[in-house]
């Protein structure tokens, strides 16, 4: 099956600061991929490259079969940015109508889709309220509703559950699983470990580099730890050791004892399929 997103050898610089260094990743249909890393590690930068709001410094990015920035495929993508892009003086329903029209949805389609997504994010009774009166969590949920409106086959969600209470979080995860079961591919950034455990595949990122990828179970087994949090710390240590060895000249990232190489081995080779 064709990958939804393929990123190879991507680097990103902001001025003189290199914030992404040799990123390789693949997003598959029917799979929830988590991007896990501390604040400032580069998660939003990867997301922004995929949705085309910034451009890469080097490498290749293919989104839904087209080179990024993706033209002509935006209607097949849903995006929830880390900071809400909502119109505060419009109601929730008016926001959904506006963004739905941008996705090319007809009035008839919107009449069905808007109540569906408002129900999904538990804002069914708030559609007529002005967004300025919403709490932070309500704005988050409306932003997610916008991303889900046109049932895209690729969903990119930047910290979708931050600011939500545990009940809403569980409900949203149920809807993520339902979407993946129907064949959509999801990329979800998070720093919440128990949320990361719910992903089919995790990509651990530290300081602009992928330090490990695999299923949460594989990563825990590979790191020889009891929890995902400990596994993350272990991979960070391995990365620091590997970098210390390499600091006289750059060696391939997948060589030797790099965690990525181990994971790749237990997954049966270089691919993610
Ligand atoms: N537009 C920009 N100009 C300059 N530097 C930037 C820009 N956007 C991001 N950065 C820098 O890139 C690095 C990665 O930022 P990014 O927002 O991708 O991190 P993140 O992993 O999403 O963090 P968080 O968990 O806090 O959202 C940071 O050092 C940040 O300061
Ligand atoms: Mg971010």
Which two tokens mark 171? Answer: 């409900």
Please state the atom number of ligand 1 nearest to the C-alpha of residue 17: 5
Contact 131, 142 (CB under 8 A): yes
248: confidence class by pLDDT, cuts 50, 70, 90: low
Contact 22, 10 (CB under 8 A): yes
For residue 30, the model assigns a pLDDT of: 96
> Distance between the two ends of the chain, CA-based, in angstroms?
9
CA dihedral (125, 131, 134, 140) in degrees, to 10, reads 90
- Taking residues 198-213, report their average pLDDT: 96
**Which pLDDT tens digit goes with each residue over 98-153?**
999 988 899 999 999 999 999 988 899 999 999 999 998 899 899 999 999 998 99
170: confidence class by pLDDT, cuts 50, 70, 90: confident
Task: Please indicate whether residue 32 or residue 151 has the higher confidence score (pLDDT).
Answer: 32
Kindly give, in sequence order, each residue whose CB lies less than 8 Å from that of residue 236, ignoring residues fewer than 6 positions away.
Answer: 206, 211
Length of the chain: 273
Among protein residues, the one whose CA lies closest to atom 28 of ligand 1: 40
| Rounded Cα distance, 70 and 63, in Å | 6
Alpha helices, H only, 52-192: 92-102, 107-120, 136-148, 166-181
For the chain, which residues make up each domain, given as ranges? 5-266
Ligand with the closest atom to the CA of 191: 1
- Residues of the chain with pLDDT > 90: what percent? 68
Alpha carbon of 157 to ligand 1 centroid (Å): 16
* The CATH number, out of the four listed (2.60.40.1180, 3.40.50.720, 3.50.30.30, 3.40.50.300), of the domain defined by the range 5-266: 3.40.50.300
Q: 42 CB under 6 A from ligand 1?
A: yes
Distances (CA, A) of 126 to 93, 138, 167: 8, 9, 18
Note if the pTM is more than 0.85. yes
Task: Please indicate whether residue 244 or residue 159 has the higher confidence score (pLDDT).
Answer: 159
115 class by beta-carbon count within 10 Å (0-12 exposed, 13-18 middle, 19+ buried): middle
CA dihedral (222, 36, 154, 104) in degrees, to 10, reads 180
């Amino acid at each position: 099956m064709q990958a939804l997103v393929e990123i190879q050898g991507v680097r990103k610089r902001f001025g003189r600061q290199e914030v992404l260094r040799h990123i390789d990743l693949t997003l598959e249909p029917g799979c929830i991929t988590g991007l896990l890393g501390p604040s400032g590690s580069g998660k939003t930068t990867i997301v922004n490259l995929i949705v085309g709001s910034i451009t890469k410094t080097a490498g290749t990015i293919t989104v839904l079969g087209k080179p990024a920035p993706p033209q002509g495929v935006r209607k097949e993508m849903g995006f929830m940015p880390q900071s809400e892009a909502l119109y505060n003086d419009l109601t929730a329903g008016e926001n959904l109508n506006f963004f739905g029209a941008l996705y090319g949805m007809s009035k008839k389609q919107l009449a069905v889709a808007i109540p569906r997504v408002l129900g999904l994010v538990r804002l069914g009774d708030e559609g007529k309220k002005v967004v300025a009166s919403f709490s932070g969590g309500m704005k988050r949920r409306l932003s997610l509703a916008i991303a889900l409106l046109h049932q895209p086959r690729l969903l990119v969600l930047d910290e979708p559950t931050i600011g939500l209470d545990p009940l809403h979080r569980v409900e949203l995860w149920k809807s993520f699983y339902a979407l993946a079961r129907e064949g959509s591919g999801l990329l979800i950034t998070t720093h919440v470990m128990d949320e990361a455990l719910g992903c089919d595949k995790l990509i651990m990122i530290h300081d602009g580099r992928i330090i490990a990828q695999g299923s949460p179970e594989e990563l825990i087994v590979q790191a020889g730890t009891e929890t995902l949090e400990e596994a993350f710390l272990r991979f960070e240590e391995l990365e620091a050791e590997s970098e210390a060895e390499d600091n006289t000249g750059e060696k391939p990232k997948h060589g030797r004892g790099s965690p990525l190489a181990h994971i790749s081995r237990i997954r049966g080779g270089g691919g993610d399929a």
